[in-house]
């Protein structure tokens, strides 16, 4: 989402020059994973996270984890993701839940989701490899199987695997109820990854209705010491909007 004015692999050097220490790539599957690894290593970057394959996004697919009847496609997608991660040097996978059929029973969707995540967690139960799930808001992603932090906490409780955690996206969480300070504290033990952006326009994180300094202080107070990902759409060029990074330095 950042540096999209540049060719894909050129974005890594731009990220390093801008002061980032790691990168997150939503769906890198059309690229050579070994080329990503070489570029990341050349610029001292860590490939922190990527998404599991979405399927046919033009047809509305967004993963298969919570889609009854798609278990085989889910397993194939996870195996493909793990192979890509191995070659690219990535350590964390966001497992996208998908859009179940509208007539699917909620209990069946939940059971499918939990079973699939348990299968994926057991397949990836090696040191340094992690899975996360992320609630997405109903305005931007209608029909998605996971929309609230409370539901994510229930899923994680049922999955009961230490290598599966919560991705807390400030943008989605604010739209789906807000109360960010309380909920960061409430779900702190589950949080493995944080994404930031401005709300409501998903632009630079120091713009809009969420107090960016307060958010950073809260993350520090709950002892969060993992990655914070800048997942936003720049208002202009990426470089012109990076002034917000100065506010991050006291918390590093």
User: Hey, which residues are catalytic here?
Assistant: 134, 231
Q: Residues 88, 205, 236, 58: is their CA dihedral positive or negative?
A: positive
* Token representation of residue 171: 């943008």
* Token representation of residue 31: 């690229």
Q: Can you give the C-alpha Rg of the chain in angstroms?
A: 18
Which residues, in sequence order, are CB contacts of 35 under 8 Å at separation 6+?
9
- Between strands 164-169 and 22-25, the pairing is unpaired
Nearest to 40 by CA among 81, 111, 91: 91
Both ends of the chain: CA-CA distance in Å?
23
Residues 34, 87: contact at Cβ < 8 Å? yes
């Amino acid at each position: 989402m950042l540096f999209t004015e540049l060719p894909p692999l050129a974005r890594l050097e731009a990220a390093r020059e801008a002061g980032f220490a790691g990168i997150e790539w939503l769906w890198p599957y059309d690229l050579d994973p070994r080329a990503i690894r070489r570029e990341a290593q050349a610029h001292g970057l860590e490939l922190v996270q990527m998404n599991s394959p979405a399927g046919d996004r033009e047809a509305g697919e967004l993963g298969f984890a919570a889609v009854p009847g798609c278990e085989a496609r889910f397993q194939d997608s996870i195996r493909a993701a793990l192979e890509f991660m191995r070659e690219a040097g990535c350590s964390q996978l966001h497992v996208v839940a998908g859009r179940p059929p509208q007539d699917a029973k909620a209990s069946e969707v939940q059971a499918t989701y939990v079973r699939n995540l348990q299968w994926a967690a057991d397949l990836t139960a090696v040191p340094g490899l992690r899975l996360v799930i992320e609630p997405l808001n109903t305005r931007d992603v209608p029909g998605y199987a996971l929309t609230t932090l409370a539901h994510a906490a229930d899923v994680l409780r049922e999955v009961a695997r230490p290598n599966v955690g919560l991705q807390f996206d400030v943008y989605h969480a604010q739209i789906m109820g807000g109360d960010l300070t309380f909920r960061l504290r409430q779900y702190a033990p589950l949080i493995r990854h944080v994404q930031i952006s401005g709300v409501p326009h998903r632009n630079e994180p120091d713009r809009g209705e969420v107090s960016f300094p307060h958010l950073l202080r809260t993350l520090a107070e709950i002892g969060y010491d993992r990655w914070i990902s800048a997942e936003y759409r720049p208002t202009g060029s990426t470089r012109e909007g990076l002034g917000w990074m100065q506010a991050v330095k006291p918390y590093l």
